Structure 1
């Protein structure tokens, strides 16, 4: 299915990477659902910028009923079912190496927050859209991961472990859902320059990335967003269960 014929749900899309992904799909003519939890004003501003093919809908991705309600509202608004889900939302985390707790300090509750944000959130969106995707024999699930799983430049224990679990989720869903024409893939960026989540990242960390990356630059949100188009497009129709690292070559996996 061509992107201009699709309806795309992007979680955590009011700002940062999610907003860039929303803009990228909108430019290609897709209907875009801008999901948010607290940033209502930013979400509505983004929708105003994108135009009539976008709608802002509130839902905490960790809440199954809220996600189901959001999906139904999106279907009513566009009179079309969701064809692509981008699981982008980041729950209660900032990339701040100075504030990150060490191994003897981090507690299990921190891990639970990231597992719920990464895996439970993705499970809720997939299950809310699955019946429609089966009926149309088409669906694209795109999960946002991190290259920190392969190369933990900073030991963000709970965040990286949650994303590692999301990679396992991605591959199991790909195996299970392929029979219905649904592909499930992951995009793993590095630290992006710059989002709200990475605004606390020190210049030292960004300098290390630049110095050790073949392209000698830090990847931008817009560059990563372009990759989401590939996974949603007809060009990726034979690709599923994959983790594409988009970080300028820092990690070669």
Structure 2
């Protein structure tokens, strides 16, 4: 990616920052001038260290952000790091395939907790800081699977559908305070999460259906995410941007 100064002076929280999309996004935001708060249920120390190598400040916070109490515990650390939070990238998520006859309520709730509850909890944790400063950017990761007929993903697609609705509604409520809220839909990509939940064979199959016939990688979405978290997107809110190699050609 080309280094710019479009995020100088901003502080960004990136969830799911220990690898994959999260690490790629955190590093590019740092190259563009942002200080980074890397949040993950696992240690994000390596991501924070890599950010520091770019010359920006970074901290890593380890928490299960589907748990309201743990989000409350890390909120003072997020706000206190630089005294403000300007950008939230809601990237944390999981995408399990579950046969509909094996999908019980516990698995349904777990899928929503990871993919949807995390986004609500993190947004409500930092949006007051954004309101105080009259500027904020929230970017939620959704999924291009919403436009496809993917089997065995009832819970996941329902959760990501809720993310789109959450994005549109939150954009309406926060617009008066200079805060924009948008969503990005990536494709099945070669990331640690993609390998774990989808597998290389399915990722290759998806790539064959795309207009751009190669497997997606984490770096493919960072430009879109950085645009939506910058001043350049100031007149854009409540939108769902598909960044999937042309799989959903709509």
Tell me, yes or no, whether TM beats 0.5: yes
Aligned residues between the structures: 242
1:126 corresponds to 2:127: no
TM-score (norm 1): 0.89
Q: Deviations over 1:157-216 (max 9, x none)?
A: 211211111111111101111111111100000111x11221143444233222221111
Aligned twin of 1:86: 89
Structure 2 residue runs without a partner (length 5+): none
> Which whole-Å CA distance do the structure 2 matches of 1:229 and 1:203 have between them?
27
- Which 4+ residue blocks in structure 1 deviate beyond 6 angstroms? none
> Which whole-Å CA distance do the structure 2 matches of 1:30 and 1:154 have between them?
39
* Secondary structure at 1:5 match in 2: coil
> Which whole-Å CA distance do the structure 2 matches of 1:31 and 1:154 have between them?
40
Q: CA RMSD in A?
A: 1.8
- Aligned-pair distance for 1:2? 4.2
> Which whole-Å CA distance do the structure 2 matches of 1:242 and 1:142 have between them?
10
Q: What does 1:133-148 align with in structure 2 at a 5 Å threshold?
A: 133-148=130-145
Match of 1:197 among 186, 193, 202: 193
* Secondary structure at 2:224 match in 1: helix
Aligned twin of 2:66: 62
Q: Deviations over 1:8-63 (max 9, x none)?
A: 001110111111111111111101000022x22xx112212221511101222122
Check whether the contact 2:108–2:155 (CA below 8 A) recurs between aligned residues: yes
- 1:53–1:205 CA distance, 2 compared to 1 (3 A): same
Check whether the contact 1:218–1:247 (CA below 8 A) recurs between aligned residues: no
> Which whole-Å CA distance do the structure 2 matches of 1:224 and 1:152 have between them?
23
> Which whole-Å CA distance do the structure 1 matches of 2:201 and 2:151 have between them?
12
TM-score (norm 2): 0.90
1:113 corresponds to 2:114: no
Structure 1 residue runs without a partner (length 5+): none
